[in-house]
Amino acid sequence: MSKERRRVVLLATTNPAKVAKLTWALDGLGLSLRTLRDLSPALEPSETGATHEENAAIKAAHWSRLEGCLAIASDGGVRIPALGERWNALQTRRAVGEHTSDEERIQRLLELMRLYRGEERRVRWTEALAVAEAGRTLASWQADGDEGYLAEGFDPTRRRIPGFWVASLFHYPQYGKCYAELSPEELAQVDTSWRALKERVQAWFRARPM
C-alpha cells in the first residue's frame, strides 16, 4: 500500500456522535479522514462480539476489507447493574428498540428504571476502539469511564447529542447535569474512557510507519 493511501483512515460509522469522537481522537495526526457517508451503501457487519472491544474490531475489519484502507471503529455501552439480565450493554437495542428514535429509547430506558432509586441507578460507560487494515485487526483497546447515575426524568428542551441518546440520561451529581449538558472543561474531567483511548490510539499511529 502506498504511503499516500495509508494516510487515509475510514471512520467506520454513520453515527454523528461517533464521527465527532473519532475525529477528536485522531486530531493532530495528519490523517485524511473519510466516513461511511462518503461511500456507497453497504451491509453493516453483525456485532457478535463478547466485548465492546471485539465488536469494535469486527466493524473495523469489515469496513477495512470492503474499502481497502485503514479503518477505525468504536463500540460502547452503559452498564446498568440494577437491571441484571434485562440489560446487556452490548445489545442495548434489544431492550430499547431496534428502529426507534433517540427520544423513544430514552423513554423506554426510563420505564425500565422507574422502580429504582438512589444507588440503584448507578451506571458506568465502557468504550472501545479498534483499527484494522485489509480485514485484519491491527490494534484494539477498551476503557471504562467514570460512574454516574441515570436521571429519573428527561426534559426534551435541554441540549441533546444526536446519535448518543444515553448522554441525555447519564447524570453527574457533582455538576448537577447530564453528559449532554457538560461544558468542555467538565467533559475533560469525566470523559475518562475516551481520554484514555485517545492517548492509546495517538501513540499507536505515531509509532506506525506511514
Does the annotation count 75 as an active-site position? Answer: yes
* Separation CA 27–CA 104 (nearest Å): 33
Which of 27, 75, 146, 191 is the catalytic position? 75
Contact criterion met (CB below 8 Å) for 56 and 73: yes
**Bridge partners of residue 76, in order along the sequence:** 127
Task: Enter the DSSP assignment of 58.
Answer: H
Distances in whole angstroms, Cα of residue 99 to Cα of each of 24, 45, 86, 89, 102: 28, 17, 19, 17, 10
Residues present in the chain in total: 210
Question: Which residues are identified as catalytic?
Answer: 75
